[in-house]
Each structure stands twice: as structure tokens, then as C-alpha cells.
Amino acid sequence: MTTPDLAPATALEPKTKLSGKILKTTLAGALVDVGQNIPGVLHISQLSQDSVNKVEDVVKEGQTVDVWVRRVKKDRIELTMIEPLKYDWKELEPEMVVKGKVIKLESYGAFVEIGAERPAMIHVSELTQGYVKSPSEVVKEGEEVEAKILNVDRKKKQIKLSMKALQPEIEELKPAREEKKGKRPHKKEAVEAIEQEEPREPELTPMQIAWQEAMNKSNGSKAFKVRHSKSGVSAEREDILNRTLEKRLPTGG
């Protein structure tokens, strides 16, 4: 973040980037005008990441340089020409979402430069949803990625990330639920089941139909003769009984 030159010194925060002009060099460092009411101080150890023997080997009076705020005190602003880390260890917390560049691939995962003291690591199982055989199937060196911090171990200086944690979960296809035992079937289904179970009468041929009708007529005639015969026998018996009674009973005379 670049702050305007006329911003109050008290408003400057660590890691704020400024542009300044070298006013004076000394054995211990240099004074820098950064547009504030107090001078900026650049120590020799903050001129470069490499060892510096002489200040003039790096900066000279009148030179314009880019610097970053380290600390703000009452009488000075301590500066550095070494670009600070984006994240200090105390600033890294689980659940934070960070961006970085993949700098190395191993069989077990990928290392990502996120601007901390040490590169962060994404295990192969945290690269994406589903099975991954090799990290190269998902990411390439030099690729910019976004991930969530899973764990920060400040003692071991380890940062573990997950790209999978930022991806939507894959819903597994579940098999259709089986019908519960004892559940009554639908009325229509029950009727169809009964119809399927009931045996159907075999269809008769025309010859079989004619034969059946002939048999029915024959049986009807026999039944009529039997009934007629029985009715005749009953009348005869009744006549005999009446004559017998007439003979036995006295008649009036």
C-alpha cells in the first residue's frame, strides 16, 4: 500500500511503502526525506538483504529510493529498502484465505510462496475434491493459486494450506431408497398384482364350443325326463292312498 507523501507520520503503519529522497549519508546509514515533519532514518543493515560494507555503494545523496516503514517513533521514522514480508508469523491464522505462487512440486504436495518467512505447503490430498495421484495433475510451477490456511506451526515454521477447502463439495449419488418392509402397496398396484396372479380360463375353439353346447342340451333333456317321471309316480301313489281311505272309512247312508 502506497501512502501519500503528506500523510501524517502518526498515521503511517508498518510495511507502508513510501518514496523518498536521500538527504545525507553516514557510516551508519542515511537520512531520507519522505515528506513528513520528522526525518526518515535508513540503517545500513536495511539497505539490502546482502551484506553492505559502505552506504555509498548502495545509495547516494539526492537519489530517489523506494522504502518501507518499519517503526514510527516520536523523533524519526525507521525505514528499510528491503521489501518486508507480506505476513509475519503473528499475522497468520487458521481459516485465513491467502494467495500465492506455486514454486515447487513434490510427490506429496505443492509449495506455495505466499509472502511469509517460509513457503506454505498444500498436501496432495488438499489440492482438489476427489483422488489425485500427482500434484502436477492439478497445479503447475509458477501458477497463482488461492487457498485457506489449515494450520500454522510457529515453532516448526510450517504453514499448511488447502485449496480443496475453498471448493464446493461433490455430492455423491445415493441409491434409491428401498421400499420399507410391511408397507401396503398402492391400490392400483395391488389390483394389477391380483390380476397377474389369477389364472385365466383357456380360450375354447369353435369345435369345443359346439361340443359343450350339445352336452348341455343332452343333460337338460335327461333332467326333464327324470323330473317328469318323479311327478307321475307321486300322482299314482296319491291316487292309491285316496282309494284305500275311501274303502276303510264308513259312508253315511
Per the model's pLDDT, the better-predicted residue between 219 and 40 turns out to be 40
pLDDT band at 5 (very low <50, low <70, confident <90, very high): very low
Contact 142, 101 (CB under 8 A): yes
Average pLDDT over residues 230-234: 54
What per-residue confidence (pLDDT) applies to 182?
54
Write the burial class of residue 187 (CB in 10 Å: 0-12 exposed, 13-18 middle, 19+ buried): exposed
Q: Provide CATH 2.40.50.140 ranges for the chain.
A: 9-80, 89-166
With residues binned 3-state (H G I as helix, E B as strand, rest as coil), the percentages for the chain, rounded to 5, are 30, 25, 45
- Residue 202, pLDDT > 70, answer no
Range list of H helices, 162-249: 187-197, 206-248
Which top CATH class is 89-166? Answer: mainly beta
The reply to whether the predicted model has a pTM over 0.85 is: no
CATH fourth-level superfamily of 9-80: Nucleic acid-binding proteins (2.40.50.140)
Per the model's pLDDT, the better-predicted residue between 113 and 169 turns out to be 113
pLDDT tens figures, 53-82: 999 999 999 999 999 999 999 999 999 999
Distance of CA 110 to the CA centre of its chain: 23
Average pLDDT over residues 113-126: 96
Burial 213-228 (b: 16+ CB within 10 A, else e): eeeeeeeeeeeeeeee
- Give one DSSP letter per residue of 51-85, joined into a string: --S-GGGT--TT-EEEEEEEEE-SS-EEEESSPPP
Contact 132, 142 (CB under 8 A): no
Distance of CA 164 to the CA centre of its chain: 10
H/E element, 4: none
- Residue 248, pLDDT > 70, answer no
Per the model's pLDDT, the better-predicted residue between 84 and 9 turns out to be 84
- Residue with C-alpha cell 508498518? 14
Count the Cβ atoms, other than its own, within 10 Å of residue 39.
17
Nearest Cα to Cα of residue 29 among 94, 78, 97, 90: 78
Nearest Cα to Cα of residue 161 among 142, 143, 141, 146: 146
Amino acid sitting at position 155: K
- Residue 23, pLDDT > 50, answer yes
pLDDT tens figures, 125-174: 999 999 999 999 999 999 999 999 999 999 999 999 999 999 998 765 55
